[in-house]
């Protein structure tokens, strides 16, 4: 199994699919298998549809690996004192234990898709499992037998832990050599999750004894409901009135796909991390690349390989890759004849390699992209700077404000608020509310599970609570410079923001955070927020996309040019939470069809746009909220321009925190970007320099 990305414990254990309310048909089972194969998913733990013998036949036919799991779970017994382990030790239960496991073996033993047996799930451990292990090995000596609570005991052939950290599995690989380790569950995919998956696989790829894991879960097990006006939404625990029945809120919404098999954003990360072909750039000048075949049995002759060269996101050249035979588990090098590109000063040149299916196979169409990777060939990321002078700037002092004017623009700073209160360009107002420090992150399900709302509460309204300590203005080299120093008295921290305004209306922003002397927890994010009118709803950006990406979940988001509406950037999670972030953004622009505003990083920033107040995403404690009902487009656009926000995490959703390397400890931070207003249809003057 080494190198095979294993995925998913059982999904549905009933003859009817509870999430869509229809009988489980062969059509539905095939749909699931084909979707898994499209996303490089090779295996399931436990029988996906255990009451359907046809399911195993389909796994045989389509080549989906199965770890077959006995229907033996006593999870609830852990809540009864002195019972959780005893039931697995009790002689009264021995016959039931053996019956459950051996009937599974008898039923399924002739299916080649089944690689090993699992004795059950979360039923404690004891003599009954030891006896079942021996009996199953006697009945079928050809397959390994695994069981998670057995740990390192002798009655499991595979160490099969649940939700263990990267450090744990690496330590195991370094100190134990007798058995492989497979994570029976990991990367809990609840809400906006599946962070640090690439980190898990960097570790797994580094040790032969680490052989993959099973993401929980394949599908959101929510139920479709409609309101009286016909609006459809996914219902979860608490949406059904049964006074005597406890619920676990939206804990059923932890899939890579929604209940109707539409895609949740994090499935793209799974596909990229699990891709069966890997690329390495060996020599940039010679165009030499290495291609690694991660399939276990087949070569790469079923795939077509190609290359593309992009300059600042624009396609400049492309061609096919001539590939030598690459057998299973082998790596070969080849050369790409990259043409000379007459590149612009300071431009960024990217090489993208792609592998696509040459013919249709097992329901995956010809031309389907199986794997890809990107490499920066040349051009250090450019730095934003003020434009060449294109007009004169004047400063007008007022009692409550500072007005900076040019030929086409007027920018007013509110002395009391310490922010831009008005930005007019070509006679049109660009902002309803100017840039303001913002530190909060609408909690994800993982955040709620680890107590982020309480632990980091000091940042909840920190931006609004800032007070102005000093506002200064001056003319410097023909530009207006406004410096604003603010403090949060409650938290004891400071921000310093310098606005440098040029004659064409561009505004270079330098923003800095100082934690002061206070003991502060990590920041959910460090950035700035502004509000535009709702008609600024057309978005373009050059950065990672097209789907949302985060500090610890961006492997799958390719650097490129993208565009769409602001509303399209919101993913309607079952319960509202943080959504829509873009990482490594070089530039991003919004327009209303007449005028627009472009932000260029120095060199990059993280950004997101929302067709509603970002605050709407915040979870209200003890409320029953739904993305499809509570997050609707409004006549306003919120634009977040961040240095960074912390990663989404994903080790589990009931206490695990974002990995430390993807957090923002309370220390000094600074970043820069430039705002540039423009008229639609008029080429923007470049503000990129080498």
Which residues are known to be catalytic?
122, 185
In angstroms, what CA-CA distances link 583 with 484, 541, 641?
27, 11, 11
Closest CA to 557 of 686, 399, 372, 430: 372
Sheet (strand 114-118) strand order? 43-45, 65-69, 114-118, 145-146
Q: Considering only CA atoms, which of 457, 505, 512 is closest in space to residue 485?
A: 512
Integer Cα distance of 361 and 215 in angstroms: 25
| CA separation for the pair 665, 669 (Å, rounded) | 10
Distance between CA 493 and CA 499 in Å, rounded? 20
Contact 543, 582 (CB under 8 A): yes
Residues found in the chain: 690
In the numeric block, the tokens 């060449």 are attached to 388
Are the beta carbons of 252 and 223 closer than 8 angstroms?
A: no
**CA–CA separation, 335 vs 312, rounded Å?**
23
CA distance 220 to 255: 4
Q: What contacts 396, CB < 8 A, 6 or more positions away?
A: 402, 403, 404, 405
- Whether the CB-CB separation of 236 and 248 falls below 8 Å is answered with no
SS3 300: coil
Residue 376 near residue 400 (C-beta atoms within 8 A): no
Distances from the Cα of 683 to the Cαs of 345, 462, 543, in angstroms?
A: 17, 38, 20
Neighbours of 427 (CB within 10 A): 10
Which residues neighbour 477 within 8 Å (Cβ) at sequence distance 6 or greater?
none
Asked whether 37 and 30 are in contact (CB, 8 A), the reply is no
The dihedral of CA 516, 520, 526, 531: what is its sign?
negative
């Amino acid at each position: 199994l080494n190198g095979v990305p294993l995925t998913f414990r059982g999904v549905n254990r009933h003859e009817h699919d509870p999430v869509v309310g229809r009988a489980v048909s062969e059509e539905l089972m095939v749909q699931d298998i084909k979707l898994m194969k499209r996303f490089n998913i090779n295996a399931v733990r436990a029988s996906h549809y255990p009451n359907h013998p046809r399911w195993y036949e389909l796994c045989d036919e389509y080549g989906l690996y199965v770890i077959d799991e006995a229907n033996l779970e006593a999870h609830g017994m852990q809540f009864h004192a002195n019972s959780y382990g005893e039931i697995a030790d009790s002689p009264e239960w021995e016959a039931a234990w053996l019956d459950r496991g051996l009937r599974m073996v008898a039923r399924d033993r002739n299916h080649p898709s089944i690689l090993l047996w699992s004795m059950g799930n979360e039923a404690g451990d004891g003599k009954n499992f030891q006896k079942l292990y021996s009996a199953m090995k006697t009945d079928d000596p050809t397959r390994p037998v695994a069981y998670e609570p057995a740990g390192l005991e002798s009655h499991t052939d595979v160490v099969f832990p649940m939700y263990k950290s990267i450090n744990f599995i690496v330590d195991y690989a370094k100190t134990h050599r007798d058995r492989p380790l497979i994570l029976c569950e990991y990367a809990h995919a609840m809400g906006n999750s599946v962070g640090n998956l690439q980190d898990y696989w960097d570790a797994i790829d580094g040790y032969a004894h680490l052989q993959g894991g099973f993401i929980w879960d394949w599908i959101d097990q929510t139920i479709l409901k409609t309101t009286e006006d016909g609006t459809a939404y996914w219902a979860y625990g608490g949406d059904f009135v049964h006074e005597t029945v406890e619920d676990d809120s939206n804990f059923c919404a932890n899939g890579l796909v929604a209940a109707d098999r539409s895609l949740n954003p994090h499935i793209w990360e799974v596909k990229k991390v699990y891709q069966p072909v890997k690329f390495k750039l060996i020599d940039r000048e010679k165009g030499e690349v290495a291609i690694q075949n991660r399939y276990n049995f087949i070569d790469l002759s079923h795939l077509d390989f190609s290359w593309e060269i992009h300059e600042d996101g624009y396609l400049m050249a492309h061609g096919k890759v001539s590939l030598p035979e690459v057998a299973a588990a082998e790596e070969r090098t080849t050369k790409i004849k990259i043409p000379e590109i007459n590149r612009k000063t300071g431009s960024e040149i990217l090489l993208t390699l792609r592998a696509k299916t040459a013919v249709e196979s097992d329901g995956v169409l010809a031309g389907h992209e199986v794997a890809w990777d990107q490499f920066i060939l040349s051009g250090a990321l450019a730095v934003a700077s003020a434009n060449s002078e294109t007009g004169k700037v004047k400063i007008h002092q007022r009692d409550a404000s500072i007005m900076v004017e040019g030929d086409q623009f007027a920018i007013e700073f509110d002395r009391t608020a310490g922010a831009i209160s008005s930005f007019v360009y070509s006679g049109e107002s660009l902002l309803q509310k100017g840039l303001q420090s913002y530190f909060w992150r609408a909690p994800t399900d993982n955040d709620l599970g680890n107590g982020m709302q309480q632990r980091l509460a000091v940042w909840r309204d920190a931006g609004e609570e800032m007070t102005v300590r000093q506002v200064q203005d001056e003319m410097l080299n023909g530009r207006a410079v406004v410096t604003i120093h603010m403090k949060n008295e409650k938290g004891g921290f400071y921000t310093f923001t310098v606005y440098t305004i040029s004659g064409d209306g561009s505004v270079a922003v330098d923003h800095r955070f100082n934690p002061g002397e206070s003991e502060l927890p990590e920041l959910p994010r460090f950035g700035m927020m502004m509000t535009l009118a709702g008609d600024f709803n057309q978005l373009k950006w050059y950065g990672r996309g097209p789907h949302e990406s985060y500090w610890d979940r961006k492997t799958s988001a390719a650097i490129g040019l993208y565009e769409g509406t602001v509303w399209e950037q919101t993913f309607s999670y079952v319960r509202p939470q943080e959504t829509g972030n873009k990482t490594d953004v070089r530039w991003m622009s919004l327009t209303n069809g007449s005028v627009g505003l472009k932000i260029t990083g120095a060199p990059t920033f993280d950004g997101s746009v929302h067709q509603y107040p970002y605050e709407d995403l915040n979870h209200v404690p003890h409320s029953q909220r739904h993305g499809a009902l509570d997050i609707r487009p409004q006549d306003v656009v919120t634009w977040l321009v961040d240095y960074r926000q912390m990663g989404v995490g994903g080790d589990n959703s009931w206490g695990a925190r974002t990995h430390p390397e993807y957090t923002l400890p309370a220390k000094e931070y600074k970043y820069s970007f430039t705002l540039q207003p423009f008229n639609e249809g008029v080429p923007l003057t470049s503000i990129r320099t080498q």
